[in-house]
Amino acid sequence: MKTYIVGNWKMNFTVGEASIYLHKLLKTIKPAKNLQVAIVPSTVALQPLSLQIDRKKLKLGAQNCCEKDYGAYTGETSITQLRGLVDYCIIGHSERRYVFNETDKMIREKVAACIRNGVTPILCIGETESERTFGETKDVLKDQLVSGLKDISKEDLDKCIIAYEPVWAISSVKGARPATPDDIASSINIIRDHLKATYGKEIAEKIPVLYGGSVNPNNAGAYLTIPGVNGLLIGGASLIASQFNDIIETAKKVAA
């Protein structure tokens, strides 16, 4: 299975800044077997960057999409409109769930929209600090998995990527702290066990599971060697070219 390194730029960089940054990345990044690198800029930058990007080195992703393909939804962007520009779309990121109050229904409809439009959804799941404290991690992860994949057929499950992002470990969250490899391994086991129990071992083993949350060059290697982790979803460190490239180089060694 491939190793995935995905940089989520969130609401950073103007179009011009994004273009300059991409130029730097393209000069330093070299393709590697079994490693897929993607950047996920703001929606406004996707079209111009799609003309600049070298897809042999990098793929493009979207940070969000509307669950509808078209219609009277002012201010929304559908995955149908993004088809051909992006290969991936992040769905259900904690900031969408908890800042913008996206419901489980919206999230599973967005996952289904990605699948029917030929774009790989990266379904984010993860517990809050409170849920973790009260021993609810297992239930939360199962509920978010079941709901997020509810409208996906067995035949299409291997077209999805799961990203485990504990809310309490995301660097932009107040009071966040990096997760330890043991913390992550425990939750990855919950995810893997649920996928196997629900869909069978063969299908479960085809679904990549990424980790995200305060990832940086110093901890990336430890996270990538956790059994069951197939890559990283990176926030802040993906905005600094040298750090992002260091993580990519680390991933190359693990994927070799």
Query: Alpha-carbon distance 7 to 78, whole Å?
Result: 21
Give Dmax (Cα) for the chain: 48
Question: Residue 5: which residues within 8 A CB-CB, separation 6 or more?
Answer: 35, 36, 37, 38, 231, 232, 234, 247, 248, 251
Residue 167 · residue 161 · CB < 8 Å: no
DSSP class of residue 83 equals B
Look at the block and give the residue holding tokens 């993580």.
Answer: 247
Could you say which of 95, 102, 131, 165 is catalytic? 165
Could you say which of 93, 95, 102, 131 is catalytic? 93
Strand partners, 90: 122
Look at the block and give the residue holding tokens 């800029």.
Answer: 41
Residue 3 · residue 251 · CB < 8 Å: yes
Residue 57 · residue 26 · CB < 8 Å: yes
Q: Could you confirm whether 194 is annotated as catalytic?
A: no
DSSP class of residue 88 equals E
Query: Alpha-carbon distance 239 to 86, whole Å?
Result: 19
Q: Could you confirm whether 249 is annotated as catalytic?
A: no
Question: Active-site positions?
Answer: 93, 165
